[in-house]
């Protein structure tokens, strides 16, 4: 029989009368560990708990698995990632090992990128100048971070010349979903270099979905409140009734947590609340264009930037996976403002931007289009977490347990792989391991006792 407190009864009674109970739908009303969120971190945590033969359930507010990993397989007849696409740092990424087991094919992305200067490709010498400027920018950010944590934009060299706007876009909106003026130099410097990439041919969202197979995932169920003061564990108030567990792992985005979409009782420690507000989500969206006949004249999976003159710029990934799809990615302040104008405005920008680089004839080739608007997704509210200047320690604070019953996971809870699916996966496994040990479900290996002679 679940242990109901008076406050949780009041919070859940209305929801319980409006929809079937969690027990009736999913077969659970009490588990060892509950996981909130079925993104990469939540699925990683649940797999680890299930491997320890403990009872687990994943509660997901939306109608699908994957979180910010969402592969659309219907709009264009081929898989296209509307959310995360890249497997960063493949040599270290745990998904590289798991993908073959899930029957998903991994492909290496072509090295490097192309640069357009107006309607032409950058010449060899110009590319060398760009790459040298990029190296100087990264080195300057690292040097500044060793002294004090300032805004990454403040650390940039003064002599970047015509490449400044391109570098600011590549490291900021494209690299971490925020303008560099809003990014901690220390946070950026600590991130593992992401200059080697791979991707899933069937889509990154498809991979997360396959890795979730066999797990008890309850979709369409929002967690409204978590009570960590009940006897024997925690109680979750959901839109399908109460759920009791000995511990809970929450993998919701920092934006969702900062918006108080999940109420915690008692209130969370100030360090955690501050972390939500210091690790706010940036903006990153994708305009998808179907361009049969390769009117851009690019190779498969070509990544293209331009020598930008300001913030109104984007990145192009052409002929994705050998298809006729082109992805135009926008981010940061400009991307947020553009997405707020709606999908028609986003598509119009993408076409105008590409026409300026490849000529107006491409407009005649466009067929179907689509665009993402992650800032408006009520259970995400943005892209990836970004530490504000002076706020890098917030990631460590987010990893601290609460009352030894509540743990947080997600890409925000990783100090070097934040903003990546691999980081989210590792954080979910780490949170699950910590919960299992603290709750006594697995034991830590003991050092052998040395006998005195």
- CATH number of the domain that residue 274 is part of: 3.50.50.60
> Is 233 contained in some domain?
yes
pLDDT of residue 407 exceeding 50, the answer is yes
pLDDT the model gives residue 18: 36
pLDDT of residue 3 exceeding 50, the answer is no
| Final residue in a domain of this structure, among 205, 226, 261 | 205
pLDDT the model gives residue 447: 53
Question: In this structure, are residues 248 and 56 in contact, taking their beta carbons and an 8 Å threshold?
Answer: no
298: left (phi over 0), alpha (psi -120 to 50) or beta: beta
**Both ends of the chain: CA-CA distance in Å?**
55
In sequence order, the β-bridge partners of residue 237 are 225, 242
| pLDDT category of residue 453 using cuts at 50, 70 and 90 | very low
Contacts of 383 (CB under 8 A, 6+ apart): 68, 177, 281, 282, 283, 284, 285, 331, 374
| Final residue in a domain of this structure, among 180, 205, 230 | 205
Whole-number percent of the chain with pLDDT over 70: 91
Asked if 359 and 389 sit in the same domain, the reply is: no
The model's pLDDT over 44-87, given as tens digits with 9 standing for 90+, comes to 999 999 999 999 999 999 999 999 999 999 999 999 999 999 99
**Global confidence as pTM:** 0.91
Top-confidence residue, 78 or 21:
78
Asked if 94 and 120 sit in the same domain, the reply is: no
Q: Which residue has the tokens 């403040």?
A: 154
Q: Sign (positive/negative) of CA torsion 357, 358, 364, 365?
A: negative
Q: How far apart are CA 7 and CA 260, in angstroms?
A: 17
| pLDDT category of residue 452 using cuts at 50, 70 and 90 | very low
Question: In this structure, are residues 334 and 173 in contact, taking their beta carbons and an 8 Å threshold?
Answer: yes
| pLDDT category of residue 7 using cuts at 50, 70 and 90 | very low
Q: How far apart are CA 435 and CA 35, in angstroms?
A: 11
> Is 386 contained in some domain?
yes
Q: How far apart are CA 332 and CA 172, in angstroms?
A: 7
The model's pLDDT over 125-144, given as tens digits with 9 standing for 90+, comes to 999 999 999 999 999 999 99
pLDDT of residue 185 exceeding 60, the answer is yes
Q: How far apart are CA 382 and CA 194, in angstroms?
A: 21
Q: How far apart are CA 96 and CA 83, in angstroms?
A: 18
Instruction: Encode 209-247: b = buried (16+ Cβ within 10 Å), e = exposed.
Output: bbbbeebbbbeebbbbbbbbebeebbbbbbbbbbbbbbb
| Final residue in a domain of this structure, among 376, 403, 426 | 376
Asked if 222 and 257 sit in the same domain, the reply is: yes
Top-confidence residue, 447 or 33:
33
- DSSP, collapsed to helix, strand or coil, labels residue 450 as coil
Asked if 180 and 217 sit in the same domain, the reply is: no
Q: Which residue has the tokens 């019953």?
A: 405
Give the length of the chain: 453
E strands of 97-222, at which residues? 106-108, 114-117, 120-121, 197-200, 217-218
pLDDT the model gives residue 392: 85
Range of the domain at 179: 114-195+282-376
- Mean pLDDT value of segment 9-35: 55
Nearest to 175 by CA among 151, 157, 199, 192: 192
pLDDT the model gives residue 8: 34
Number of domains in the chain: 3
């Amino acid at each position: 029989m679940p242990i109901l407190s008076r406050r949780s009864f009041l919070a859940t009674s209305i929801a319980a009368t409006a929809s079937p109970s969690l027990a009736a739908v999913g077969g659970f009303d009490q588990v060892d560990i509950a996981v909130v969120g079925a993104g990469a971190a939540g699925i990683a945590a649940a797999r680890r708990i299930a491997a320890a033969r403990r009872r687990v359930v994943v509660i997901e507010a939306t109608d699908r698995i994957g979180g910010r990993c969402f592969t659309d397989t219907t709009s264009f007849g081929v898989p296209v990632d509307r959310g995360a696409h890249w497997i960063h740092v493949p040599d270290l990424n745990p998904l590289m090992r798991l993908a073959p087991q899930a029957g998903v094919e991994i492909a290496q992305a072509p090295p490097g990128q192309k640069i357009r200067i107006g309607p032409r490709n950058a010449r060899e010498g110009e590319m060398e100048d760009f790459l040298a400027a990029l190296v100087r920018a990264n080195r300057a950010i690292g040097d500044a971070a060793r002294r004090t944590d300032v805004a990454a934009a403040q650390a940039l060299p003064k002599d970047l010349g015509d490449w400044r706007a391109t570098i600011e876009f590549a490291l900021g909106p494209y690299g971490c979903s925020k303008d560099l003026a809003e990014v901690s130099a220390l946070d950026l410097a600590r991130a593992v270099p992401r200059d080697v990439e791979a991707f899933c041919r069937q889509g990154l969202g498809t991979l997360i979905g396959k890795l979730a197979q066999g797990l008890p995932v309850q979709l369409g169920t929002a967690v409204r409140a978590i009570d960590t003061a009940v006897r024997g564990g925690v109680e979750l108030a959901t839109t399908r009734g109460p759920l009791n567990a000995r511990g809970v792992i929450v993998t919701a985005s920092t934006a969702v947590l900062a918006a108080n979409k999940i109420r915690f009782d008692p209130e969370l420690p100030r360090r955690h609340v501050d972390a939500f507000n210091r690790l706010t989500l940036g903006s990153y969206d994708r305009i998808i264009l179907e361009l049969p006949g390769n009117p851009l004249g690019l190779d498969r999976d070509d990544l293209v930037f331009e020598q930008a003159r300001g913030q109104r710029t984007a990145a192009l990934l052409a002929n994705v996976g050998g298809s006729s799809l082109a992805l135009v990615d926008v981010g940061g302040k400009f991307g947020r403002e553009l997405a707020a104008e709606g999908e028609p405005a986003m598509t119009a920008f993408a076409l105008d931007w590409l026409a300026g680089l490849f000529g107006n004839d491409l407009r005649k080739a466009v067929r179907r289009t689509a665009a993402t608007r992650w800032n408006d997704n009520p259970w995400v509210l943005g892209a990836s977490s970004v530490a504000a200047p002076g706020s890098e320690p917030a990631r460590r604070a987010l990893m601290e347990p609460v009352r030894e019953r509540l743990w947080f996971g997600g890409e925000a809870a990783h100090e070097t792989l934040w903003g990546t699916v691999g980081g989210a996966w590792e954080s979910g496994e780490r949170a699950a391991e910590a919960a299992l040990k603290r709750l006594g479900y697995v034991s830590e290996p003991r050092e052998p006792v040395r006998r005195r002679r």
